[in-house]
Each structure stands twice: as structure tokens, then as C-alpha cells.
Structure 1
Amino acid sequence: MGTINVGPFAISLGLIYLTAAMLFSLAVGKWATRSRNVDVEPTLWTLLVVAVLGARIAFVARYFDMYKTSPWSVVDIRDGGFSAPAGMLVLIALAAWLAWRRREVRMPLALAVSTGMVIWLMGLAAMMANESGREELPQVELARLDGGALRLRSLVGKPVVVNLWATWCPPCRREMPVLRDAQAQYRDIVFVFADQGESADAVRRYLQTEKLSLDNVLLDSSLEVGRQTDSMALPTTLFFNEKGVLVGRRTGELSAATLAQRIGSLRMPGHP
């Protein structure tokens, strides 16, 4: 799981690990300069900012076609669109250049950056290990908005994207057109829209008002999917491979670019 849920709120584990990495890095930098008349803290903050910018720029460049229609969305980092490898490369390159230019900070900077990178990589490894568990499509049967019912486990055999949403949730509403377009584009993937706790009338009114045409709109009146997958924050999008195993989770609003990234990962060979 990529988040810690506190009631209806979700705190990103990635952000927690990044904060921990920076705090450890600052502590080590301060310890390493205790007997020297230098201060590496401003340099460490500069490295962090430039690395994050580099990670964002690399991601936007990769999915530029999806951002160019709405350029303002480039600065909307709520979509979680970052390239971690690019950020790491930028950080290492800039740290090496600064260390080469300023001999007095060379050793403290190397120790501080190395510590931060180890903490960050350990966090990423823990997240990946957690996400690659054997959590499967929930054993639930949900009512279809257009009548009948659907057993989620019956979808095993194809990759499945399950979006947990509600009409009262602003980020859910903002990302819905992106998911609608993806459902039309990725015909080899089953998209399921599991409304959390609302009535059929409320969902129908919303879809009609917004002129949204979606397949597989389901009603999860008891919030069972959220409970079984520990995904109570909205919106949450769950990615299951063709074996019905959970291989990815995104809590928070998706952009077309971040959804394309997750779909690409879902299609990669070697998923459990």
C-alpha cells in the first residue's frame, strides 16, 4: 500500500520516506560539519529542490503529448507524475559537481547525500515489496447501475482497473473524464467504476448531468471493496493483472499521463 489512511485522509508513504530521507541527510550533514566552519544544509535543500524539479520535468517530457493540450497541468503536481530515476540522476550529478567545486564540503556532502539516498531507496524497496504481495480482486458481488450484478473475481483473465469514487468527491469528478477516455482507448483492459456508498439515483443524476458514458458502473453500498483493499480514501484506483493480483495503487487524482504510466506498468511482463 502506497499510503497511510487516517480516516478519510491518505498520507503518501513516498512523501513520508522522502521526508525521513531529508531529515536523516540533514542530521548527518550537521554531524559531519560539527568541527568545521561550513554549513551544508542550504546545499542539501538545493539538491532536494533541483532533484524534484528534474523528476517532474523528465516525467512531463516523457508524456508531453498528454500535457500539451492543457499546459497549466504541468505545474499541478497533485497527479503524482515524477520520474524517480531521473530525480536520482539529477541529484547525484549536481552533488558531484558541487563537491568538486567546494572541497570543504566534499566529505560532509557525500555522507549526507549517501545517507539520504539509502533511506529513500529502502523506503522504495519497502513500498515495492508491499505492493507486490498477493492481494487479489475482492470476493464481492456488486450491483450494476444498469441492472444485474457483477462478481469482481469473474474478471480474472484480463488486466483490471478498479476506480473507487463518489459523486461528492471533487478529485473523483475531475479525473472521471480521464478514466472515461482510457476506457475507450485501452480495450484490452477492464475498467470498473465502483461508487462508494451512494444510491443508484445519485450516480445516475451525476452521470447524466456531466454527460459521462461509462461501462461497468457498480454500486458498492457497503464500501466492501474499500475495506477489503484497505482503500478508504477517495479517489483510489487499483490495478490488477490478468491473474487478479493487485500490482499497483494510486490514491489521489490521476492525470492522463499518470494513468498512462500505470497502464504501461500493468502491461509489463513479469508482474506477479
Structure 2
Amino acid sequence: MRFTPLAASALIPALLLTAAVARAQPLQVPGLAAPSADQAEVLSAEQAFVLQRPLLSINDGDTRKLALAWNIAPGYYLYRDQIRITDAQGLSLGPEVPVGESLTDPFFGRVQVFHQRLEVQARLPEHSSQWPLQVHWQGCAHLGVCYQPQQATVTALQLGLDQPPAPADRAEPDRPLLPTLGRWLALPPSLSLGPLVLPTMALATLLALFVGQWWAAGRQRRSGQPVEAVLLQAAAAGLIAARLAYVARWWQQYLAELPSGLLQIMDIRDGGWNLWAGLLAALLWTLWFGRHSRGLRRSALQALAAAALILVAAKALLTLPEPQKTALPNMAFVNAAAQTVDLRSHAGQPLVINLWASWCPPCRREMPALAQAQKEHPEIRFVWINQGEDAAAVMRYLQTMALPPEQVLLDPQQRAGQHWQQRGLPSTFFYDARGRLQGMRMGELSRASLAEQLRLLESPPTR
């Protein structure tokens, strides 16, 4: 069939669906035995660590602060290093945490912990845009069970504070106010068609070819000239030119993996296309073959214009930002080194977030390219968030793929996938140093397509 290569490229991501959602339960420490039947029943995190109602504390000099307290059940303890209080932008409010008791913990090593009760204070935000606040904590039981990080929200109303609206002249510069129409028109990087998840530009290309051929068929019936053949030849020339222009732009990345790099040039699953080079080649082909017939040239150019309009419109709509989804999410996970990592703790440096699973072949194929990019770009932080698998499965995979364990996060409940509304794996998100989403790629990344996305993060953040 004439569209087989393109259709195959578009259908590849449909095979990359996520694993089933794992049951929510306390995270068992790797290597530790579960409590035996004759041991006391393990409490839930909410029962073991009870956060009291937040209060407003007034110190000497009329300084107002947020006061928090936890009641800790006997046989359980909270980690001092895991107590964090952040504002709505993810910035720390500098909580005043007392010195804890020293403990050699099987999960985190030598740490400071608190038993029975913990009281903490923190400064209040200066601006209403910093509310609500997020409180984070994590604890374990002496039985050898460690819980996932917990969090709670504190609002100004809970403290009896008035929360005036933010002044109009203090609108956040990194959240542009788009017209309502623009928000509705913004296209996502991928679209779901039943069980299939397909790249938006692949669907736009198929639609453009269909509309162009429909237009050409109508003109051909009227004029009797081979308009369809000219358009098909122009489309083929455009696709070849779009791919070759992309390869020429990123030739160093392809040559860096010889001899497999030569095969990757033909592997269009990485989504490497140069739209403008393809449209220019298609235009020149149409003009050349229609040079002897004005009617043929005009009809073919009209069909080509209809197809090009769809492609350019789709490309433009894909670049429209989605204000409600551009900010880096306020999420915390446990990593493979048994540490709690908050995504917003990486504020101030570019961040690449990769959603993956060990059962996903494209995820495994692209992993060496991502690992190598982390070595070549230490100024960019790469984070791999596993979707839907338990810690044992992730640890087994890390024995075959050398990834920094502190950068591999566990997400058995697939909260990250739900936030980004991604059902296809792998999915990779590119955030700049200010925590703004600059690019997204669903599907396998090659060294070239990864380098293309990383270029979006090279420019320093504007103030």
C-alpha cells in the first residue's frame, strides 16, 4: 500500500501501553523480612503519624509563624530529613526542625528520627500567590516497614488568615494569559483512539495526505490530467527530504553509534522529520513536473496547499502551551536508593522526566541514549519514573542497566502517568530551569531526537 511506511510509523506507539496499576500499600524495605504473624499489627501511615491541626504561632516581636505537630505511635518514628514545608511554587519555607535522636536505619542508614511527638515551626509566605502550603513527611516502624511519603495541604483559612487576591501587577510572568480560544485549540502531543495512543503529527500527516488526494482526484476528473500522480510523487519527495534534512541536522548523533546509526537513519520511529524541508521539496517537485502544463501545475499546487495547510496548522497548534499543565508537578517519590525525592526540589536546573517500565521494549532500547545524555549533560537532571512495577522488578532491571539509583523513582500507583495523562510508554518530558514544560515526546527516543529536545533547554531562563 502506498501509505504503509507512514501508517506503520504512526501505529508503533499504540503497542506501548502501561502496566496495570499496583495495589496501594506501605513500601516494604528491600531485603527485610515482613513482620511475622505473632508481631503486632502494622498501623497505617495515618494511624502511625497523626498530624495535628495547624496553628498560628506568635513569637516575640509579634512574628507570626506556622506551627505543626505530629503524634507518633509507639514503635514508629519520623525522619528528620524528610520533614519539608513548601509554598504553592514548591519553594521551601525553611522549617525549624529540632535535633532528633540518632538511629542506624536499615532503609536510610545513619539518620535522625523522632519518637512520640514532633513540633515544627516555619515562616509564613509573604504573598497570597504562595498559598496553599504543602507539608511533607515520612516515617517507618521498628518492625522493618517503611511508609511512602505523606503530605497534607495547609490553607490560609485554616490559620484564620485573610487571603487577599494577588495584585494585578504581580501576575506570574511564566504563566501567560492565553485567550480562551487558544486554550481550546491547543493540541496534545498524542491522541487516544480507543486502545491506541498515536502521535498527533502522524495523524495530521495521514489526514493531510487524504485531503490532498481527495482534492487532486476532483481536479483530475475535471481536467483529465494526472494530478493524483503528481501529488503522490510530491508527497514521497517531501517525506524523503524531511527525513534527510533531519538526519543532516543531527548527523553527529547518528554517526556516534556506528554501525547501528546507519540503520537508525531508516528507523522513522524516532519521529525525526523536518517539516519545512519536506514542504519545500514537495513544492519544487510539483513546480518541476507541472512546468509544461499550467492547468496541471495549478491543480497540483492547490491539492498540495490543502495538505500543507493541515500540517502547518497542526504544527502551530501543538506549540500552543497549556497553562494548567505547564508547571512542574508537586510530587514526591521514593527512589531506588531508598530516598524521598520531590520533583520540585530540582528547581533551578533543567529537568528531563522519563516514564518507563521494564516490560516495555522501546523503553529499554532508548535507555542507553538517555543514560549517555546524562553523562554528557551534567547540568541537566535526568529522572526515570518507573510506572506500575514493584521495587523488586525495578531492582532487577537496574542490575542490567547502569542507571544512577538516586535518579530512578518508584511509582507503583502510576501517579505521574495520571498527572500527564499519558497511557503510552515511553513518554519523556522536558522542563527548563524555571519548571516550565518546554517539550514532550511519546515513543522511543534516538540520540538525535533526544538531542533535538535537549536543545530546547539550552537557553538560560529569562528573569
With structure 1 as the length reference, what TM-score do the two structures score?
0.93
Over residues 211-256 of structure 1, what are the superposed CA-to-partner deviations in whole Å (9 max), with x where a residue is unaligned? 4455510001111111111122100001111121112110000000
Shift of 1:104: 3.7
Paired positions, count = 272
Q: Residue in 2 aligned with 1:142?
A: 333
Once structures 1 and 2 are overlaid, which stretch shifts more, 37-46 or 141-150?
A: 37-46
Give the counterpart of 1:216 among 382, 407, 410. 407
Q: 1:248 to 1:271 in 2, by over 3 A?
A: farther
Counterpart residue number, 1:60: 247
Counterpart residue number, 1:46 = 233
RMSD, matched Cα = 2.1
Change (3 A) 1:270 1:216: closer
Bigger share in strand: 2
C-alpha distance in 2 between matches for 1:79 and 1:214: 27
Q: Does 1:12 align with 2:199?
A: yes
For 1:192, the aligned partner's letter is V
**Which residue, out of 287, 307, 319, partners 1:116?**
307
Q: Which has the larger share of helix? A: 1
Partner residue, 1:27: 214
Aligned pairs for 1:175-214 within 5 A:
175-213=366-404
Secondary structure at 1:100 match in 2: coil
Q: CA deviation at 1:210?
A: 3.5
Change (3 A) 1:271 1:229: farther
Contact 1:138 1:229 in 2 (8 A): no
Cα 1:56–1:268 change in 2 (3 A) is farther
Contact 1:2 1:12 in 2 (8 A): yes
2:233, 2:254 → 1: CA distance? 27
The residue identity in structure 1 corresponding to 2:304 is V
8 Å Cα contact 1:131-1:247 kept in structure 2: no
Q: Which residue type is aligned with residue 239 of structure 2?
A: V
Q: Which has the higher contact order (CA 8 A, sep 6+)?
A: 1
Distance across 2 between alignment mates of 1:218 and 1:198: 11
Q: How does 1:94-133 map to 2 (within 5 A)?
A: 94-130=285-321
Rounded to whole Å, the distance in 1 between the matches of 2:350 and 2:273 is: 24
Give CA deviations for 1:170-208 in whole Å, capped at 9, x if unaligned.
000000000000011111111000000111111111111
Q: Once structures 1 and 2 are overlaid, which stretch shifts more, 91-100 or 188-197?
A: 91-100
| Structure 1 stretches of at least 4 aligned residues deviating more than 6 Å after TM superposition | 269-272
Structure 1 letter corresponding to 2:210: L
Change in 2 beyond 3 A, CA 1:144/1:130: same
**1:215–1:81: structure 2 CA closer, same or farther, 3 Å change rule?**
farther
Please list every run of 5 or more consecutive structure 2 residues that lacks an aligned counterpart in the other structure.
1-187
Q: TM-score, normalised by structure 2?
A: 0.56
CA distance in 2, matches of 1:264, 1:270: 13
Distance 1:199 1:58, change over 3 A: same
Measure the CA separation in 1 of the matches of 2:209 and 2:285.
Answer: 16
